[in-house]
Structure 1
Amino acid sequence: MYLPWPLPDENWFADTSDQPEPDREDLRIEALVAQRLSIDWTTRRQQITVSVQNRVVILAGLVSDPDTRRVAAELAYDVPGVFDICNTLRLSGPRGGRR
């Protein structure tokens, strides 16, 4: 059952401007992983999006083959401070098609 009203000890209308900004460590890790992926010859021309939450790197997008998917995860895991990898990279289909 869902209660439509907040409990007495919850303050839903409180000023949230004093809430911490996104974790600086996550931002640092995200920048380093993106840099490594853009430098490596295997992953530089692939469509990979990097995001980080609580030191877990999330890789999303399309890659050309399974080896590139594996290399991207290995490069991300080698960045200092990374706790885990969520590799959601998908393999792109054949470029050609029937006409």
Structure 2
Amino acid sequence: MVTPWPYPDFPFAGDEPEPDREDVRLAALVAQRLSIDWTTRRQQITVSVQNRVVILGGTVADAQARRAAGELAWDVPGVFDVCNALRLYGGRRGR
């Protein structure tokens, strides 16, 4: 006879708290600015916001695009901090 192992208690879909409306608004504004700017619009950048901290992820072609993305995120009113986790294609790093 096999005894089933009970699943640990963890939140299922629907149990998570609703995202903060300000965070959603900030993410939309940052994404909009990145899509308009000529330096960042064709890059693979993801934008997420937690507690008014913008987190940029993905890959970009060069250091100029990485720097521009961070500056554009900082320019959005209401942003508390920016975590620029963008990587360069091929793992190269710029100064």
Structure 2 distance, partners of 1:19, 1:73, is 29
Structure number having the greater helix percentage: 2
**CA 1:21/1:88 → structure 2, altered by over 3 Å: closer, same or farther?**
same
- Classify the secondary structure of the residue corresponding to 1:71: helix
Equivalent residue of 2:54, what SS? strand
AA partner of residue 54 (structure 2):
V
Kindly tell me the number of residue pairs found equivalent between the two proteins.
79
Structure 1 pair 68–19 and aligned structure 2 pair: CA distance change class (3 A): closer
Q: What SS does the aligned partner of 2:42 have?
A: coil
Aligned with residue 30 of structure 2, among 22, 30, 33:
33
Identity %: 76
- Greater C-alpha Rg: 1
Offset at residue 77 of structure 1 (A):
0.5
Unaligned 5+ residue runs, structure 1?
A: 1-11, 95-99
Within 2, Cα distance between the matches of 1:31 and 1:73? 15
- Give per-residue Cα distances to partners, 1:48-97, cap 9 Å, x unaligned: 00000000000000000011100000000000100000000000029xxx
| Structure 2: segments with no counterpart, 5+ residues | 1-8
Answer yes or no: is 1:77 the counterpart of 2:67: no
CA root-mean-square deviation? 1.9
Give the C-alpha shift of residue 21 in structure 1: 1.7
| TM-score normalised by the chain length of structure 1 | 0.74
Could you tell me which of 46, 51, 65 is aligned with 1:49? 46
Change (3 A) 1:93 1:81: same
